[in-house]
Amino acid sequence: MKQFAIIAGSGFRSFATNSETRIIDTDFGKPSGPLRKIELSGHAVYFLPRHGDDLFIPPHAINYRANMKALKQLSVEQIISINTVGVIAEKQHPGQIAIPDQLIDYSWGRAHSYFDGSGKIDHIDFTHPFSESLRNQLLVAANNADVAVHVGGVYAVTQGPRLESAAEVDRLCRDGADYVGMTAMPEASLARELGMDYACLSLIVNYAAGRGQAPIHEDLAVGTKKAKARALALIESFFLNLK
Ligand code: HPA
């Protein structure tokens, strides 16, 4: 049985109760918070709170290298990244869920690689940035749980913590992006550098800037609640059916 981990942000604190806690240190410093070994449908899964237990760590200040290295040290092989996104694609709406298959990285200044000049370099193959097999497993879980998901799509990673301007979203759209979020990079490439499978379960929580009718923060409140409920059902089904 492969060791799984879930990285999630706000809204998934329910995963963190009554669980065995592991304080891990790495060559790159401490991860965002204690790693908790939780049980999901009879499977032991590590849970890492991406923004820390108090949710005080903004996307650009996360120690991504420590987070991913800590999971590697715990022999994690498969990482489900739960993250929130704004939607750019037409006919998709807050409250829905997506399993993107591509990304474009617009983030900057983040420590984003373990190849720091101190050893041999490996130029990882990043043609398909997310693990296809893990994406497929998520899709099967969605079908089993009767949770509708958007399959595929391009996740644009912005720096944050502010949301985008409408013109920035227009540019992302011209570049071919369907979703915009702040954390899939460098998580995805660091996981690849360490040989761990990584896929995103993206919660669509708002229309991207300039694309919706209501103020973004009004969308966010409703979208997050609905998408979270769907994601929880999907995750439960994922581990229930894990062989
Ligand atoms: N932009 C960037 N990140 C996000 C958004 C957004 O609109 N919504 C949730 N995370």
pLDDT band at 12 (very low <50, low <70, confident <90, very high): confident
Section 63-91 average pLDDT: 98
The torsion angles phi and psi of 166, rounded to 5 degrees, stand at: -60, -40
Dist. CA 19 → ligand 1 center (Å):
30
Amino acid 17: pLDDT:
72
On the question of pLDDT at 16 being above 80, the answer is: no
Amino acid 90: pLDDT:
96
Dist. CA 22 → ligand 1 center (Å):
30
Q: pLDDT tens digits, residue range 154-201?
A: 999 999 999 999 999 999 999 999 999 999 999 999 999 999 999 999
Angle CA 149–127–104, to nearest 5 = 65
pLDDT band at 54 (very low <50, low <70, confident <90, very high): confident
On the question of pLDDT at 18 being above 90, the answer is: no
Give all domains of the chain, ordered by start, each with its CATH number.
Answer: 4-240 (3.40.50.1580)
Dist. CA 55 → ligand 1 center (Å):
16
Dist. CA 52 → ligand 1 center (Å):
19
DSSP 3-state assignment of 100? coil
**Ligand 1 in reach of 206 Cβ (< 6 A):** yes
**Ligand 1 in reach of 224 Cβ (< 6 A):** no
Mean pLDDT, all residues of the chain: 94
The torsion angles phi and psi of 15, rounded to 5 degrees, stand at: -70, -20
**Ligand 1 in reach of 60 Cβ (< 6 A):** no
pLDDT band at 31 (very low <50, low <70, confident <90, very high): very high
Q: pLDDT tens digits, residue range 132-144?
A: 999 999 999 999 9
Q: Please state at what angle helix 64-73 crosses helix 184-193, rounded to 10 degrees.
A: 40
Dist. CA 117 → ligand 1 center (Å):
33
Which ligand 1 atom sits closest to the C-alpha of 206? Answer: 8
**Ligand 1 in reach of 83 Cβ (< 6 A):** no
DSSP codes joined into one string, 181-225: ESSHHHHHHHHHHTT-EEEEEEEEEEEPTTTSSS-HHHHHHHHHH
> Environment class of residue 234 by beta-carbon count within 10 Å: exposed (0-12), middle (13-18) or buried (19+)?
buried
* Strands 179-181, 78-87: pairing kind: antiparallel
**Ligand 1 in reach of 158 Cβ (< 6 A):** yes
